[in-house]
Amino acid sequence: MPASLRIDVDTYRGTREGVPRLLDLLDEAGVKASFFFSVGPDNMGRHLWRLVKPTFLWKMLRSKAASLYGWDILLAGTAWPGRPIGRDLGHLMRETRARGHEVGLHAWDHHAWQAHTGSWSLERLGAEFGRGLQALEDILGDKVDCSAAAGWRADPRVVLAKEAFGLRYNSDCRGSALFRPRLGNGGHGTPQVPVDMPTFDEVVGPELAAGDWNDYLLKRFRPGALNVYTLHAEVEGIAFAEDFRALLKAAREEDVLFLTLGDRLPADPRQLPAGNLVRGSLAGRQGWLGVQA
């Protein structure tokens, strides 16, 4: 039963503490994953202004965010300048690739991308993405050929802005199957590998205890499905590292075979069906996000 682990690394602490732990757990299980790094300043604490919105406040309370993420993550880039993730911790990104995992770009500034994607011009989208891509390539000393939009904030303009960079694939949306997004000029864009499984923070709350998450998730791996699961270095790599170890063990017993996202692509991407990537919504997640239509 093929599946994939997409690992989003959003913050300084997630890179420094979560990534090394995840690398050890993946090595222990003999699993390769796809890591997507934020490489610029860690300004994630600036999301706190969203607490004035009842839906976001409820999500923070439901997931016990302070104990889950830590106050250093929740306040990053507020009372002090955001720490430069790539400059300080680039060696961990190089180690990730050296251990055989796929490495791609998540964002230059995760907060800025998530907060402003919808209003930036096409030129600004391209410049912001290009800045992050160049930084990650400088860190790795090699070409980067994949990306995953922060917070799944992607729409037709984002798809178009990324076309200039010649990537092998993007993982910018929620959906159910690989596809090539349609472009406004009648052509087709870089293949998309959507995420079809829920994330921890979307589900865990009053109806589901954190201790029940693994069982809940394992029941959603299905033969013939895409089975792409997004985990976060800040969650499964720190507070729930032992739970993630147990998940990997249980998945192996269920004959789940983890492949990188890139390994899911056909030899000829032109074989993929065309589709549309549009703005949509998802239960448990605030605001709009890219969805496969």
pTM of the model: 0.89
Confidence of residue 61 (pLDDT cuts 50, 70, 90): low
Asked if 7 contacts 231 with a C-beta cutoff of 8 angstroms, the reply is yes
Measured CA to CA, the distance from residue 244 to residue 237 in angstroms comes to 8
pLDDT per residue as tens digits for the range 119-156:
999 999 999 999 999 999 999 999 999 999 999 999 99
Measured CA to CA, the distance from residue 84 to residue 215 in angstroms comes to 37
Burial (CB count within 10 angstroms: exposed 0-12, middle 13-18, buried 19+), residue 143 = exposed
For residues 106 and 82, the model is more confident at 106
Range name among 140-149, 196-205, 259-268 with the lowest pLDDT average: 196-205
Asked if 213 contacts 180 with a C-beta cutoff of 8 angstroms, the reply is no
H/E run at residue 35: strand 34-38
What value does the mean pLDDT take over residues 44-52?
Answer: 50
Measured CA to CA, the distance from residue 116 to residue 113 in angstroms comes to 6
What value does the mean pLDDT take over residues 6-12?
Answer: 95
pLDDT per residue as tens digits for the range 62-79:
555 455 555 555 545 454
Range name among 99-103, 131-135, 182-186, 192-196 with the lowest pLDDT average: 182-186
Give the chain's mean pLDDT: 90
What value does the mean pLDDT take over residues 191-211?
Answer: 91
Confidence of residue 59 (pLDDT cuts 50, 70, 90): low
**38's torsion region: left (phi>0), alpha (psi -120 to 50) or beta?**
beta
Measured CA to CA, the distance from residue 210 to residue 99 in angstroms comes to 30
Measured CA to CA, the distance from residue 176 to residue 75 in angstroms comes to 35
**Residues of the chain above pLDDT 90, percent:** 80
| pLDDT value for 82 | 78
The strand pair at 146-147 and 277-282 is best described as unpaired
